[in-house]
Amino acid sequence: MTIAEFLHMDGYALYVWGAYGVTLAVLALNVILARQQRRKALRAILRVAQRDRSRA
Protein backbone atom coordinates (compact mmCIF):
# COMPACT_ATOMS: atom_id res chain seq x y z
CA MET A 1 0.00 0.00 0.00
CA THR A 2 1.40 3.38 -0.98
CA ILE A 3 0.75 6.61 0.90
CA ALA A 4 -1.35 7.88 -2.01
CA GLU A 5 -3.49 4.74 -1.86
CA PHE A 6 -3.82 5.12 1.89
CA LEU A 7 -4.98 8.72 1.56
CA HIS A 8 -7.32 7.83 -1.29
CA MET A 9 -9.20 5.24 0.86
CA ASP A 10 -10.50 3.51 -2.27
CA GLY A 11 -12.56 6.57 -3.20
CA TYR A 12 -14.00 7.08 0.31
CA ALA A 13 -11.38 9.66 1.31
CA LEU A 14 -13.90 12.47 1.86
CA TYR A 15 -16.06 10.33 4.16
CA VAL A 16 -13.32 8.53 6.09
CA TRP A 17 -11.03 11.55 6.59
CA GLY A 18 -14.00 13.83 7.14
CA ALA A 19 -15.23 11.56 9.94
CA TYR A 20 -11.78 11.28 11.56
CA GLY A 21 -11.20 15.03 11.13
CA VAL A 22 -14.45 16.06 12.82
CA THR A 23 -13.82 13.61 15.66
CA LEU A 24 -10.28 14.90 16.22
CA ALA A 25 -11.43 18.54 16.13
CA VAL A 26 -14.29 18.05 18.62
CA LEU A 27 -12.23 15.96 21.07
CA ALA A 28 -9.21 18.28 20.88
CA LEU A 29 -11.50 21.24 21.57
CA ASN A 30 -12.81 19.45 24.66
CA VAL A 31 -9.29 19.00 26.03
CA ILE A 32 -8.24 22.59 25.19
CA LEU A 33 -11.35 24.12 26.80
CA ALA A 34 -10.90 22.00 29.93
CA ARG A 35 -7.29 23.24 30.29
CA GLN A 36 -8.35 26.83 29.73
CA GLN A 37 -11.09 26.57 32.34
CA ARG A 38 -8.61 25.57 35.04
CA ARG A 39 -6.15 28.36 34.10
CA LYS A 40 -8.94 30.92 34.07
CA ALA A 41 -10.16 29.81 37.50
CA LEU A 42 -6.66 30.06 38.98
CA ARG A 43 -6.03 33.48 37.42
CA ALA A 44 -9.31 34.81 38.80
CA ILE A 45 -8.40 33.56 42.28
CA LEU A 46 -5.01 35.30 42.11
CA ARG A 47 -6.56 38.55 40.91
CA VAL A 48 -8.96 38.62 43.83
CA ALA A 49 -6.15 37.81 46.27
CA GLN A 50 -4.01 40.67 44.88
CA ARG A 51 -6.89 43.11 45.10
CA ASP A 52 -7.54 42.15 48.70
CA ARG A 53 -3.87 42.61 49.54
CA SER A 54 -3.64 46.04 47.94
CA ARG A 55 -6.72 47.10 49.91
CA ALA A 56 -5.33 45.93 53.23
Among 2, 22, 54, 56, binds another protein (CB under 8 A): 22
Taking phi first (over 0 means left), then psi (-120 to 50 degrees means alpha), and beta for anything else, what does residue 2 get?
Answer: beta
Among 39, 54, 55, 56, binds another protein (CB under 8 A): 39
* Residue 7 CA: distances (Å) to CA of 27, 31, 49, 56: 22, 27, 53, 64
Query: Could you say whether residue 42 binds another protein (CB under 8 A)?
Result: yes
Instruction: Using CB under 8 A, list all residues that contact another protein.
Output: 6, 9-12, 14-16, 18-20, 22-23, 26-27, 29-31, 34-35, 37-50
